[in-house]
Structure 1
């Protein structure tokens, strides 16, 4: 990685770690001078004084947006090992934000912090937001191919036209003034995956990880991630058409899905405690099964599990491969944000 990923405290020689100069709630592995990560939508926010800032990255797989004072200043496509400079700014204090646009579960990315331009300084990190939301799901949660485009959606086009920063989850969180995680994995379900791919592996195989391509990895929650709301949207892939050779029966698949969903919600409840609202999203073929699971959890005494139907009315589904578009994501956020605001969180 290009050097310069950490900075000295103003007026002294102590070198700060990356986490001391940036705010993030993403699932990261902290190596001191480097943060490693895998999930889509991971973001890093900082502050600096001066006319420019360098962003230290080491990633040949994913794309990134660099935002200065709330506006996108650059989009980096698989930047590799680099310090990318944003220069020529008004001399003064600025906010900088770097966000991973797409999902690259087979790769590990690295962020080495911010570097001030000559004459400037990296300032103390921004304060965390008071609210936290975790979004759990598949390609719809990722924002798969949601950026307007023309032509076929081959794998490279999907990567270039996926932007988790304008997914419905990211938009909803910003409307509610919340920090968020986008823990989405395209193509994977609770008990089976789209077209029967990767038998024996499911979303649950990867959920606990920070680094998705590292077998057995477990994210070490620093204790600061305590989401008030967790939104679960899993099942679209479970109920895609069966592939030749798959042994599922419709009834057997439905029963296994409901059992896995119930177990997953129990795991989330144990992890985050009784004050976290769990929102189970009904969508397409999984809707009735999700509703039944929610009813069962409520009947068992967990009133903090809520059902929400993802309404397809008015959506154009012009994202890659029939997925939601960025316009659709805005419409979904318009509907989801008021529902989340209505939950007993005090928001």
Structure 2
């Protein structure tokens, strides 16, 4: 007799009351999670629960966190392949547990072989309804929003998935503070106009309307990453945009050359260190264009452009761009909010915001969002 004989296997598609967080294709056989903070959530009365996962990567492995009754109790790297992991066992079979299994690592643009899927559960219990939250938030951003550097010592400089967290970053903390469901669309190094190294392809607006358009490779294409996102199925109450940090980085980085066309791209500084007027205007125009796209996709949402955790140098340009959008469209449902800057006490790994910085940001941002909601 196997030690699993008392447990029943159920494909995810057959699990009643399964709640899915994050953008997906809608397919459950299996379920593919793409973005930071994506998750499955269940309420279950059981003594034991296992999850069948499948993971692959060429360079950057997946990590997940397991939350029981909203508390992180386990964080683990997933080996390549398909296997069962234990979510919990030996617990009181009469008690109802809220379980959330969260993707800790961002969608990896630089790794065409990276993917994460959930196939089935194995349990001795029954699933119960998961209560819907009253609000919905969408966060759009870069490495800060991906939670890069939240985990790990300050001395860490290796660019590895271990230092990312979808559970301990300001997105999850803010959503919890305002009692909201949330989704994340983010990528380290990317911006509104270009990535930190002046690559114009590294911009979030161009991929925003797809399920996960920044993923590369035929494998991710087959999984549906490039399909149009179903905005009608999930409309946020607030869209929080935290972009601009890498656009500022482009002004201070070497030029980028497109090898296919030979064209050179560079956001320039003047001799006195100020921004080149034309290049700054191009950034502002990119912000305004993205606001128009966000409004088209999310007609009733309040859009909040936030900025400031790693410096404030582009804040005047962001204010001007938002003001230009409002004047051109009479869209009054857009605002700007300044985030608290990182300090010596709150910095984390890879000179990114640490846990204390994310907590501080979540406290201030959630206070502002409560006023909107």
TM-score grouping bracket, smaller chain normalisation:
0.7 to 0.9
2:100 to 97, 100, 111: 97
Separation in structure 2 between the aligned mates of residue 232 and residue 239 of structure 1, nearest angstrom: 16
2:118 to 95, 100, 111: 111
Partner of 1:43: 39
Once the two structures are TM-superposed, the CA of residue 16 in structure 1 deviates from its matched residue by 6.4
Give the TM-score normalised by structure 2: 0.81
Partner of 1:154: 158
Alignment deviations for residues 1-24 of structure 1 (CA, whole Å, 9 cap, x no partner): xxx9962xxxxxxx7616744212
Partner of 2:48: 52
* 8 Å contact kept, 2:211–2:227: yes
Deviates more, 1:47-56 or 1:210-219: 210-219
SS at match of 1:24: strand
Alignment deviations for residues 89-108 of structure 1 (CA, whole Å, 9 cap, x no partner): 11122221100112142322
Separation in structure 1 between the aligned mates of residue 75 and residue 36 of structure 2, nearest angstrom: 15
SS at match of 1:265: helix
Separation in structure 1 between the aligned mates of residue 191 and residue 357 of structure 2, nearest angstrom: 22
2:190 to 188, 191, 207: 188
Partner of 1:261: 287
Separation in structure 2 between the aligned mates of residue 70 and residue 244 of structure 1, nearest angstrom: 45
Partner of 2:307: 282
1:297 to 295, 306, 325: 325
Change (3 A) 1:320 1:151: closer
Partner of 2:146: 142
Once the two structures are TM-superposed, the CA of residue 34 in structure 1 deviates from its matched residue by 1.3
* 8 Å contact kept, 2:24–2:33: yes
Deviates more, 1:53-62 or 1:144-153: 144-153
Cα-Cα RMSD: 2.4
Give the TM-score normalised by structure 1: 0.86
Alignment deviations for residues 23-45 of structure 1 (CA, whole Å, 9 cap, x no partner): 12311123332111221111210
Once the two structures are TM-superposed, the CA of residue 68 in structure 1 deviates from its matched residue by 1.9
Question: Does residue 210 in structure 1 map to residue 211 in structure 2?
Answer: yes
Once the two structures are TM-superposed, the CA of residue 205 in structure 1 deviates from its matched residue by 3.1
Separation in structure 2 between the aligned mates of residue 316 and residue 267 of structure 1, nearest angstrom: 38
| Equivalences for residues 1-347 of structure 1 within 5 A | 7=10, 17=13, 20-60=16-56, 61-80=61-80, 81-85=82-86, 86-92=88-94, 93-105=96-108, 106=111, 107-116=114-123, 120-149=124-153, 151-156=155-160, 159-196=161-198, 198-211=199-212, 212-213=215-216, 214=220, 217-221=226-230, 223-240=232-249, 241-244=252-255, 246-249=265-268, 250-273=276-299, 275-283=300-308, 284-300=312-328, 301-312=330-341, 316-343=345-372, 345=373
Deviates more, 1:32-41 or 1:105-114: 105-114
Separation in structure 1 between the aligned mates of residue 189 and residue 69 of structure 2, nearest angstrom: 35
Alignment deviations for residues 134-189 of structure 1 (CA, whole Å, 9 cap, x no partner): 00010111111112425432123xx2121121111110110000000121111011
SS at match of 1:115: strand
Query: Which runs of 5 or more structure 2 residues have no equivalent in the other structure?
Result: 1-6, 257-264, 269-275
Number of residue pairs matched by the alignment? 327
